[in-house]
Amino acid sequence: MGMELMSMTAVELGKKIQAKEISAVEAAQAAIDNIKKRDDTLNCFVTVDEEGALKRAKQVQAEIDAGRLSGPLAGVPVGIKDNMCVEGMLTTCSSKILSGFTPTYTATAVEKLHTAGAVIIGKTNMDEFAMGSTTETSYYGATKNPWDTSRVPGGSSGGSAAAVAGEEVPYALGSDTGGSIRQPAGFCGVTGVKPTYGRVSRYGLIAYGSSLDQIGPIAKDVTDCAAVLEAICGKDDRDSTSVSESGSDFTSALTGDVKGLKIGIPKDYFLKGLDTEVKAHVLEAAEALKLQGAVIEEFDLSLVEYAIPAYYIIASAEASSNLERFDGVKYGYRADSFTDLHNMYKKTRSEGFGAEVKRRIMLGAFVLSSGYFDAYYMKALRTKALIKQAFDRAFEKYDIILGPVAPTTALKLGDSLSDPIKMYLGDVYTVSVNLAGLPGISLPCGYDSKGLPVGLQLLGRHFDEKTMLRAAYAFEQTRQYERAPFVKGGQANE
């Protein structure tokens, strides 16, 4: 019974709960059962709140029975990436330095899901402080990909993506600073949306690169993502970069009609470094949209190779500033022995942060230091302006930009850790979207000869998620959702 419940989409499950065919408690129990059964292998969750989830599910069911909760997500279980604060629930950013941290408040996006009747099952694993593309930099161990447990799920929201593909929860929240929702969704054969910067409040999201971070949904399909986005979006007084924009009735955009839609394919996304099978599947997806009446054209986006260096300078600079707060005074880990206050800060941070986090903090401190600030940081901000202009020009001609999510399918565990720059290059198709503040969606568009999912990425104009979701939905209608071998029992399951 449990297995079947979690193989439904969030919206399907929500309908059955509204129809009283399934109770919110049964749904929560099914999620917990599947986690108990599978998470020893997959390691998607850092924290599972069994008792709290079941108690909450009972309350939600009572609200539903009383006719006070009727939304599509009421009673549906959800996993929350471990960088979003949830009051009373351990929140670690998958870092040792936040071990034992229990927030006294809840992130706005999570609070909004709560209002919609969501039942939070627990916190999902991630790269430490969202710095990584594989979920291997987690202090709490790597997450495994349900398509092949010898491979990474992608990252940094790898726990969220693998928990959805692994059918431990129907949907999850992730965060995306340089591709951290889209790339793991692509690697795990599920669907993820990085909304326009400002669409979703960042209040309560533990900051990495504040000018780039954005919370979004990871789910089995476009319909779920639209429903979740509708629930979490909107202006929030507690995040002054959040905006109140119209066009947030995302579900209404899922018409299946793409006739006359202008889709641009950046030629420079299909040059060196792109796996030939990934390329073939992505171009097939473009063909499928063309058959439905979209107008497809190739163009030169330009500046593609400069996005990664600009991104790593800006993100590291912001990280070095944002992560100053972890000093062993107010929360989390404190070194056992030290000589004085300054030594306590240094020892706490040196023992509490992992290698990748230290690497980025140091790079950030360097590019912000006097003498190097103009040459690196300001140069990166000027490059960011040029990249934004390149996208603006493209969106004068096209409604949608179509390309791959990542140059390859999921890599083997351990393959990326030895060479940081090689890992960074995997973000080539995703980081520019964060620099330009654009919305992007990742959804499955095929499987390579190893049987691994290939991700398709569609980008829209600022605050035009609706057109992007419309195109994604139309493409999705040409395919069937494929379940991961791990949940079908094709791979050693127990």
Partner 1 sequence: MQITDETIEYVGILAKLELSGEEREQAKKDMSNMLDYVGMLNELDTEGVEPMSHAFPIHNVFREDEVTNGDDRENMLLNAPEAKEGTYVVPKTFN
Q: Which are the catalytic amino acids?
A: 81, 156, 180
Tokens of 457: 């990425």
Q: Which is nearer to partner 1, 6 or 313 (CB)?
A: 313
What's the closest the beta carbon of residue 270 comes to partner 1, in angstroms? 21
Stretch that binds partner 1, among 20-28, 142-150, 396-404, 436-444 (CB under 8 A): 436-444
Q: Cβ-count burial of 418 within 10 angstroms (0-12 exposed, 13-18 middle, 19+ buried)?
A: exposed
Q: Which is nearer to partner 1, 18 or 241 (CB)?
A: 241
What's the rounded Cα separation, in Å, for the pair 339 and 88?
33
What's the rounded Cα separation, in Å, for the pair 234 and 320?
28
- Determine the size of the site formed for partner 1 (CB under 8 A): 68
Q: Are 57 and 24 in contact (CB under 8 A)?
A: yes
Stretch that binds partner 1, among 108-116, 292-300, 380-388, 446-454 (CB under 8 A): 380-388
Q: Which is nearer to partner 1, 79 or 198 (CB)?
A: 198
What's the closest the beta carbon of residue 234 comes to partner 1, in angstroms? 15
What's the closest the beta carbon of residue 230 comes to partner 1, in angstroms? 22
Q: DSSP letter string over 407-433?
A: SSSPPBTTTTTT-HHHHHHTTTTTHHH
Question: Of 189, 190, 179, which is closest to residue 157 (Cα–Cα)?
Answer: 179
- Binding to partner 1 by CB under 8 A, coded x per residue (else -) over 442-481, reads --------------------x-------------------
Question: Of 131, 94, 125, 99, which is closest to residue 328 (Cα–Cα)?
Answer: 99
Query: Does the protein bind partner 1 through residue 280 (CB under 8 A)?
Result: no
Query: Does the protein bind partner 1 through residue 354 (CB under 8 A)?
Result: no
Which secondary structure element, helix H or strand E, spans residue 45, and what is its range? strand 45-48
First-last CA distance in the chain: 17
Q: Are 478 and 471 in contact (CB under 8 A)?
A: no
**Alpha carbon separation from 239 to 69, 132, 199, 491 (Å, rounded):** 27, 25, 11, 44
Query: Does the protein bind partner 1 through residue 439 (CB under 8 A)?
Result: no
Q: Which is nearer to partner 1, 225 or 436 (CB)?
A: 436
Stretch that binds partner 1, among 19-27, 137-145, 185-193, 237-245 (CB under 8 A): 237-245
Q: Which is nearer to partner 1, 100 or 260 (CB)?
A: 100
Q: DSSP letter string over 54-92?
A: HHHHHHHHHHHHTTS--STTTT-EEEEETTB-BTTB---
Subset of 393-432 contacting partner 1 (CB under 8 A): 420-421
Tokens of 62: 């009572």
Q: Which is nearer to partner 1, 240 or 493 (CB)?
A: 240
Q: Are 201 and 113 in contact (CB under 8 A)?
A: no
What's the rounded Cα separation, in Å, for the pair 228 and 105?
21
Q: Which is nearer to partner 1, 340 or 494 (CB)?
A: 340
Question: Of 436, 430, 423, which is closest to residue 405 (Cα–Cα)?
Answer: 430
What's the closest the beta carbon of residue 241 comes to partner 1, in angstroms? 6
What's the closest the beta carbon of residue 210 comes to partner 1, in angstroms? 10
Which secondary structure element, helix H or strand E, spans residue 434, and what is its range? helix 431-436
What's the closest the beta carbon of residue 159 comes to partner 1, in angstroms? 23
Q: Is 377 helix (H, G, I), strand (E, B) or coil?
A: helix
Question: Of 108, 104, 124, which is closest to residue 116 (Cα–Cα)?
Answer: 108
Query: Does the protein bind partner 1 through residue 380 (CB under 8 A)?
Result: yes
Tokens of 148: 């092949």
Query: Does the protein bind partner 1 through residue 240 (CB under 8 A)?
Result: yes
What's the rounded Cα separation, in Å, for the pair 380 and 392?
18
- Residues 159, 165, 169: CA angle, nearest 5 degrees: 70
Subset of 201-230 contacting partner 1 (CB under 8 A): 211
Subset of 323-342 contacting partner 1 (CB under 8 A): 324, 327-334, 338-342
Contact with partner 1 (CB under 8 A) among 37, 55, 63, 306: 306
Contact with partner 1 (CB under 8 A) among 362, 450, 481, 493: 362
What's the rounded Cα separation, in Å, for the pair 210 and 490?
41
What's the closest the beta carbon of residue 211 comes to partner 1, in angstroms? 6
Query: Does the protein bind partner 1 through residue 96 (CB under 8 A)?
Result: no
Contact with partner 1 (CB under 8 A) among 32, 61, 76, 101: 101
Query: Does the protein bind partner 1 through residue 241 (CB under 8 A)?
Result: yes
Stretch that binds partner 1, among 236-244, 255-263, 282-290, 399-407 (CB under 8 A): 236-244
Contact with partner 1 (CB under 8 A) among 131, 436, 484, 487: 436
What's the closest the beta carbon of residue 312 comes to partner 1, in angstroms? 6
What's the rounded Cα separation, in Å, for the pair 380 and 298?
27
What's the rounded Cα separation, in Å, for the pair 180 and 169?
19
Tokens of 329: 């005074």
Query: Does the protein bind partner 1 through residue 15 (CB under 8 A)?
Result: no
Tokens of 144: 């495994």
Query: Does the protein bind partner 1 through residue 100 (CB under 8 A)?
Result: yes
What is the contact surface with partner 1 in residues (CB under 8 A)?
A: 100-102, 104, 197-198, 211, 237, 240-241, 243, 303, 305-306, 309-310, 312-313, 320, 324, 327-334, 338-347, 349-350, 353, 358-359, 361-366, 369, 376, 378-386, 388, 420-421, 435-438, 462
